[in-house]
């Protein structure tokens, strides 16, 4: 019997449900939590951003004066979300290789869905049946299934 997995995720939580057959109830496979997103930046970053950090200045040589407002290329929050997306994609790839599911429905917040799309392995991407760019991590399993079924109906 083929299993369909439904992933409901955002940057801080990913819930994975399995459904065996179209009329079957869903069972929760795993509930992944990204604790780093819930922490303060000072708790997750070991480096303190100083006034000239990251500028690559040449002190006392007459070079250009550095900009005192350092902005990292990626914010710490976005970096933690990307790491979590990578962990989720690795989990989905391993499960696909083990034959734990045949089809995949992705339901995620818009920003997190974009991060997941970029990191999905082609083997997993080929199994994606539907994508919904909504954050439904707070819904019960049955409410989530209802939302997915409503999106699958032709309009």
pLDDT of residue 25: 79
107 vs 52: CA distance, rounded Å: 41
Strands in 3-9's sheet, in edge-to-edge order, are 26-33, 13-20, 3-9, 103-108, 128-132
Residues lower than pLDDT 50 in the chain:
51-57, 60, 155
Domains of the chain: 3-37+73-152 (3.30.420.60)
Q: Kindly state the tokens that stand for 118.
A: 């970029």
pTM of the complete model: 0.76
pLDDT digits (tens, 9 = 90+) for 92-108: 999 999 999 999 999 99
Cβ 114 vs Cβ 106: under 8 Å: no
């Amino acid at each position: 019997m083929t299993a369909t997995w439904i992933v409901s995720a955002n940057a801080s939580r990913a819930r994975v449900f399995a459904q065996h057959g179209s009329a079957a109830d869903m069972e929760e496979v795993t509930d992944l939590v990204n604790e780093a997103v819930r922490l303060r930046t000072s708790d997750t970053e070991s480096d303190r951003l100083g006034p000239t950090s990251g500028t690559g200045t040449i002190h006392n040589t007459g070079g250009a004066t550095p900009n005192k407002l350092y902005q990292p290329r990626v914010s710490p929050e976005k970096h933690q979300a990307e790491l979590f997306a990578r962990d989720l994609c690795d989990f989905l790839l391993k499960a696909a290789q083990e034959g734990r599911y045949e089809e995949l429905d992705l339901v995620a917040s818009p920003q997190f869905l974009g991060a997941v799309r970029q990191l999905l392995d082609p083997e997993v991407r080929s199994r994606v049946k539907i994508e919904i760019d909504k954050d439904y991590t707070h819904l019960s399993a049955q409410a989530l299934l209802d939302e997915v079924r409503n999106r699958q109906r032709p309009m």
